[in-house]
Every structure is written in structure tokens, then in C-alpha cells.
Copies of this chain bind each other. A is one copy, B any other.
Amino acid sequence: MKLATLRDGSRDGRLLVVSRDLGRATPAPQAARTLQRALDDWAALAPELESLYAELNDGKIAGTLAFDPRECASPLPRAHQWADGSAYVNHVQLVRRARGAQMPDSFWTDPLMYQGGSDGFLGPTDPIPLADEGWGCDLEAELAVVTDDVPMGVDAHRARDYIRLLMLVNDVSLRNLISGELAKGFGFFQSKPASSFSPVAVTPDELGDAWRDAKVHLPLRSAINGRPLGVPQAGVDMTFDFGRLIAHAARTRRLGAGSIIGSGTVSNRGPDGGPGKPIGDGGVGYSCLAEVRTVETILHGGPKTPFLRWGDTVRIEMLDADGRSLFGAIEQTVVRPESAA
């Protein structure tokens, strides 16, 4: 099943059931008026949504809407929890290297996770407001799951049972604010402004065989200004699967329905095990500019690729084996906010 949220002037929008080919959509029943409401009572409401989805795909619903991601908010326009892991430890290692910071060996066995802001996400095609280009604005292309209620202390295998939906993420990061902020010891805050999510959230069964071992075995495609940045395999080099990430989050407390748990920046090792992996050169490319700049520094003594600037456009998408978009595309332009103009 595929779900999206239509902007309707309200804070939580209007839940839509979207056809598998992302062509048509129809409003969810009133009891599931918003995605949070559907998640709040998933066991009761999901069967009805699934029926509607089947009818929509079969062309049995009259008066459907053309589905347009530009009219959509993120599937959860705001959430009660956004917790982002760093499951691709290769990314952490590379980015730390760029900051001259060591990475402890424990990072390969104990997941890193930070609590993100969830009071307002950007929509999938919303501009990214950036007051100061000097902050070093970067994309981070990721996957995320949305959970049901998760009991405290759940183990990594049983945690998989609480995954309800999957989405793509652009975890916008302000690189030049990160070092100073992390040095203070309390984690990210100003360096992680609002994230955005794919137009559509999908149930795991939509991925077919590509969803196994609580990982998504498909490439995640990122591009900047129309030029490909990377196509790393999301199922490769993911040290911690989503069950493991959920269990980490739930070790000392329960998680509420609608919690979003992110994978961290999708990152594969280079083909020769080294840092270099430019796309089109037998490599798989990148899901953020920080890695590109780190590799440039390692190979050439300094970064050459700038961070995102006003007017730059980012695109993040995942295609199935037949080349069809699974989640719709995140497509955002960095802009100078009006208040700062």
C-alpha cells in the first residue's frame, strides 16, 4: 500500500491512498483522515486502507485525483519522533576523517543514533530555506521506517514486527555548524534543520523481495542540479538493520506509534575498498556532499566540490527493478528565506 498526505491548509494534511504506479489517488476514510491517525489505530484501520488501495489499483474507484507530489506535504507533516541512526558506518568513518576526528571501534557494534526535530518537516518538493550559505548546507539521502507502538526493551529481531511504513529522507545538514555543536557534547541541534521525506510512504510488502533482513536491497539515487551524485545499494554496507535500530531506540523507553527511525546516510565502500568511488567510474557514488569533499581531501589535499548554494536543486529517488519510482522523488531547491533577503 502507498500513502501520501495532501496539503489542505491544516497542520497534518489529508491522508491519500495512492496507486502503485503513483498515477492516481483517493482520500482515505474519515477515521484515517491523517496518517498519524491511521498509525494511532493501525490494526483497525489498515485493512480498510488496503481494500481501498486494491480497488484504486484495479480502477474501481470513481472520481480519483491525479497524484501530484507538488501538492503533498511529507507523509507525516509533523511527527512525535524522528530518530536517525547511522547504520552505514562507512559514512561515519569518512565524515569523521574529514573533521580529523577518530572513530571508535565500538561504532561497528553499537549503533549511533540522534534525536531529530519532528515538529515540522519540509514537503518533498518544498524549498530548503537557508539563511546563510556559509553554514555548509548538505543533503543526506536516507531511508526511514515508521513504527507502530514499540515496547521498551524489544530485541532486534522482534522489533521488525513493528515496522509499518518506509520512506525516503533528505536529512538536511549544516556541515559547518556540526563540529562546534558536537564538541559541546549534546548532539545536533542547529546543524540539523527540518528534514524532508518522499511524497509517498509504502508498506514493506510493496518492495517485494527487495525488503529482506529488515533492509532495502535497492539503489538509492541522488542527484544535484540534474547531475547524478550516487546510486549506492541501500542493502549493502548497512551494518545495522532497521530492527537493530528500533531496538536501540527502545532500549530504555517505549516508542509511540508514528515514530520515524532513519538509517543514516546510505553509503557503500568504494570498489577497491578505498575511499574513492566516483559515479560512472565503476563506483557507486555518494548520498551527501560531505563524503565527496572528504574523498577529494584524501585524494587531492582539499575539497573541490562546494556545499549547496541558493538555487541548487537536490533529487532523491528509488526505482524498483523495472525502473519504476517506488516512493516518488524528493526534489528540493535551496533558497534564501524571505525574512533573510
Contact = CB atoms under 8 A, between A and B. Distances in A.
A115 B187 contact: yes
A339 interface: yes
A177 interface: yes
Nearest to A193: B253
Given A152-B129, A252-B174, A256-B120, A112 B81 contact: no
Interface stretch (A178-186, A208-216, A279-287): A178-186
A189 B115 contact: yes
- Integer count of this chain's copies in the complex: 2
Kindly state the interface size class of chain A when it binds its partner: 35 or more
A119 interface: yes
A151 B129 CA distance: 12
A159 to B, nearest CB: 14
Contacts of A110: 184
Interface string A54-81: 0000000000000000000000001111
Contacts of A187: 114-115, 185-188
A198 B99 CA distance: 42
B249 A189 contact: yes
Interface string A160-197: 00000000000000100100001111111111011000
A78 B78 contact: no
Contact of A188 (B11, B78, B186, B257): B186
Given A80-B120, A81-B118, A120-B80, A152 B190 contact: no
A153 B338 CA distance: 11
Contacts of A83: 117, 189
A131 B251 CA distance: 9
Interface in A240-256: 248-249, 251-256
A204 interface: no
A116 interface: yes
A231 to B, nearest CB: 27
Contact of A114 (B189, B249, B253, B256): B189
A236 interface: no
A46 interface: no
Contacts of A258: 119
Interface in A261-310: none
7 contacts: A83-B189, A112-B185, A113-B186, A120-B256, A152-B337, A153-B337, A194-B253
Interface of A: 11, 40, 78-81, 83, 86, 101, 104, 106-107, 110, 112-120, 129, 131, 135, 151-153, 174, 177, 182-191, 193-194, 248-249, 251-259, 337, 339-340
Instruction: Give 8 closest A-B pairs by Cβ, nearest first.
Output: A187-B187, A119-B256, A81-B119, A80-B119, A193-B253, A114-B186, A120-B256, A115-B115
